[in-house]
Amino acid sequence: MLDRVEFTVTSRPPSLDLYRRAWTPGPDVTLGGVWVGAVVSDNSGQDYWGLRGTDDFVTGMTHVVSPVCGFRALGTDFDTAAAHLFAEYSGIDWFEPLSYTDGPDRLQTNFSSGRFEWDGDGFHWFDASNRWELHGRTVSDVAITHVPTQPGIEHQVHYRHELMYATGVINGVEVSGYAHQDFAYGPPGMIYTELPVARHLQGMWMSWLHEYPDGRLGGGSFWQGRDGLDFGPGYQLKDGVTTVHHDIVATPTFDDGGKMAALEASVGADTYTFVFDTSGSPLHYFGRLVTDGAGQTPARSWCWVEYAGGMLTPELLDMMNQQFRLVRGR
């Protein structure tokens, strides 16, 4: 069993070239998964969770991640179910082939039920039936964690993440809040669930954005290793500056029902305290930042944790991938 793994964390400013499908963060890797996620709020304080993946099971296909997500209205406690907003995403998963247009000033990923766009104003997510549109402005640098091959790690993986401030309309209601873009890269032909972060390293993933009364933004994202593994890569957005870290430590607290109720994270010299009061699936928890590293309480915050315990084993991931073997030619 691994107890330590070598990795690097770097960052770079966002640019349109980073979202081109041909871009890679290093040699001998190709795209192995893209995820767009959002946790946004309306004026009443109702939170909504949206998630869409591409290329994470079959290259060239989008993936709605249903029935875990689609678009949901989050509950106000662990006992209130997160209601699906759109019925077609509430049952069997929804895959669609994508097409891609690469231009000098605009990129588009199109699929039957919607499209993604990237341009000089940021990222845009449209529903084909005009039930939602979200616009993301990147507020952090793009942080990239690289785990090279080494004893116990058969394949290299690059994982990149960025924070966005999102605005838009969902189901006729104006919303704003948090969004992110995730990209994963590995050896040609491999998808994220075949790569070492998902299979061997991840015990917890977290990302958050907070907004102060004067409009300043902060946030970050990080991993924690499983089963005692020393693995804490991530980054922090503070005062407009993105700082990468290799040794983030997070300590969760669970309630009597086994739900994650709170978390304290040490990021460099700062300590962040979070509380959680709702879940969107057995793996996903949502809450808010109580205090930041300087002891300030933000006006609004959006915090998202993926914690699987010991559920995401290589055997389970391989079983999930079996149904795609024919279309992948594997």
Tell me the per-residue pLDDT of 18-54, one tens digit each, with 9 for 90 and over.
999 999 999 999 999 999 999 999 999 999 999 999 9
Q: What is the pLDDT of residues 267-326, one digit of tens each?
A: 999 999 999 999 998 899 999 999 997 888 899 999 999 998 777 788 888 888 888 887
| Whole-number percent of the chain with pLDDT over 90 | 83
pLDDT at 1 over 80: no
Residue 206 confidence (pLDDT) above 90: yes
Q: Which of 158, 117, 147, 160 is nearest to 13 (CA)?
A: 160
Q: What is the mean pLDDT of residues 134-154?
A: 97
pLDDT of 213: 95
State the DSSP string of 19-67. GSTT--SSTT-EEEEEEEEEEEE-TT--EEEEEEEESSSSTTEEE--TT
Q: Where are the domains of the chain?
A: 8-324
Q: With 90 as the cut, is the pLDDT of residue 260 above it?
A: yes
Whether the per-residue pLDDT at 193 is higher than 70: the answer is yes
The pLDDT of residue 92 is above 90: no
Q: DSSP letter string over 270-292?
A: EEEEEEEEEEEETTEEEEEEEE-
What average pLDDT does the structure give for the chain? 94
User: Edge-to-edge strand order for the sheet containing 300-307?
Assistant: 241-245, 234-238, 217-225, 202-211, 300-307, 284-291, 270-281, 260-267, 249-254
Q: Is 32 exposed, middle or buried, given 0-12, 13-18 or 19+ CB atoms closer than 10 A? A: buried
Band (330; pLDDT cuts 50, 70, 90): low
Does 142 score more than 90 pLDDT?
yes
Question: Does 122 score more than 80 pLDDT?
Answer: yes
125: pLDDT strictly greater than 80 = yes
Closest CA to 272 of 254, 240, 248: 248
pTM of the model: 0.95
